Structure 1
């Protein structure tokens, strides 16, 4: 019997069954944190792009959460300046996945399956994730949080993205308004796609803790926004990277605080 979406949301909002290890990509030449389950071979992996001016540590609980559910999660700490290159940041996201695939993590007891790779990101990091996915045939799934347009345009790159996509937009976003950003990217998406609107979320609601950039960027950390994002991204990547079909009801159902835009539902993607 299929489990209800509310039950799955509660389960995936909590820490998963795996003990989590933290490492540093700098050991192989690329700065940034990497979170892994304590052990496991042939694991899925996700490279996560930070938002404009944001350090990767503002997403550490999200990355740790994914790892607790059996997904290697890494976030390059590059291109953090105000005039960062979106194109080069996208290349660093792809390099991060190369590192995850090519290097035995932990004490050699952790490996990543090159056929189970995903990308995710917040703000401009979300747009960069779309650019990276459009240029990499290995990518099996992409998720964004309050995605921003990039140079070149993420909405144009989305036209060649045929893997499943999940885009969470913030209804109270004054930095990357959904109509010109997440909705435009989702509408252009070539593969199965889903757009969810978090009506009370601000642009920085997906980030954790405090940071000086809040002087310049609208919003602040929001526990409810983070909780929904953790559960939905975990379900999305478990289904599309780990083959855990039992979590699909959460993706296919409207949930409180994360409205499913039916016009962008997977069944209607072109």
Structure 2
């Protein structure tokens, strides 16, 4: 059978590196009972839904570009603005990610103008939100795909990783001084298909967009490379595992400039 040529309907990574075909709109998540933000296509039925978990001390508005990127590819993205204190509850944010997903599929977001599919749910989390995404997936069997970016984790989240059998992509920073190897720990104990990929030069809070006062404390400002890598790979990974875009499989397992796949069979490669 002849191979189908890449197109906006059957994209490759060259496509997912750029905005998709959908017009998007944003609004508050608050009417669902959870403070936060929703960014989604302006119309659509049975769309895939992704709950986004923010990083340590970060407002959800620092991820607007990433969320708009995902929405342009047809995802409803919900981002709870909870657990933003200096000592956040990872389990609390994880529970809010699941609650936000349920709010979409039960029609409590956007007045029901758009609808999400209960069979196409994923989580994406940065820093603390990465650990929360793992906890959400461990306790919510409706979640079908997990992406973390420079995650941090509690002992509970590390232990939970082995009980999760859905596919996962863990992106770790080459010079992340705050994660305590959480991404590698997740990947090595993960119960399902998993990839661990290092982003060259990436620090812990580099995924945040624009300026924020935490840069002065931690020294991690916005980083173009991790923005581009996350947008490209997270979009492709979630399209593959939530919408059946299996033509992306080979590229997701291949090389991408500015990143390297870590061999999980090598015990010396701790990351």
TM-score strictly above 0.5: yes
Query: Is 2:267 aligned against 1:255?
Result: no
1:222 is aligned to 223
1:171 is aligned to 174
Query: Is 2:119 aligned against 1:115?
Result: yes
Q: Residue 3 of structure 1: CA displacement?
A: 7.0
User: Secondary structure at the residue paired with 1:233?
Assistant: helix
Q: Residue 252 of structure 1: CA displacement?
A: 1.3
Among 99, 104, 107, the residue aligned to 1:103: 107
Query: Is 2:192 aligned against 1:188?
Result: no
Query: Is 2:133 aligned against 1:135?
Result: no
For 1:233 and 1:89, the matched residues in 2 are separated by: 20
Q: Which moved more, 1:81-90 or 1:161-170?
A: 81-90
For 1:64 and 1:74, the matched residues in 2 are separated by: 11
The alignment of Structure 1 onto Structure 2 pairs a total of residues equal to: 259
For 1:256 and 1:3, the matched residues in 2 are separated by: 23
Q: What per-residue deviation string (whole Å, max 9, x for no partner) do you get for residues 174-209 of structure 1? A: 1114xx210011101000001100121111221111
Contact 1:3 1:249 in 2 (8 A): no
Contact 1:21 1:38 in 2 (8 A): yes
**Unaligned residue ranges in structure 2 (runs of 5+):** 266-271
2:212 is aligned to 211
Q: Residue 10 of structure 1: CA displacement?
A: 2.7
For 1:100 and 1:22, the matched residues in 2 are separated by: 14
Alignment map for 1:1-270 (pairs within 5 Å):
1=3, 8-103=12-107, 105-106=109-110, 108-150=112-154, 152-177=155-180, 180-263=181-264
Contact 1:21 1:106 in 2 (8 A): no
**Unaligned residue ranges in structure 1 (runs of 5+):** 265-270
Q: Residue 259 of structure 1: CA displacement?
A: 0.8
| CA RMSD, 1 decimal | 1.7
TM-score, with length taken from structure 2: 0.91
User: Secondary structure at the residue paired with 1:241?
Assistant: helix
Contact 1:48 1:73 in 2 (8 A): yes
Contact 1:171 1:197 in 2 (8 A): yes
Contact 2:32 2:108 in 1 (8 A): no
TM-score, with length taken from structure 1: 0.91
Q: Which moved more, 1:158-167 or 1:7-16?
A: 7-16
Sort the Cα spacing of 1:197 and 1:111 in 2 relative to 1 into closer, same or farther, 3 A.
same
For 1:22 and 1:217, the matched residues in 2 are separated by: 30
For 1:50 and 1:77, the matched residues in 2 are separated by: 8
For 1:243 and 1:105, the matched residues in 2 are separated by: 25
Contact 2:31 2:109 in 1 (8 A): no
For 1:170 and 1:146, the matched residues in 2 are separated by: 6
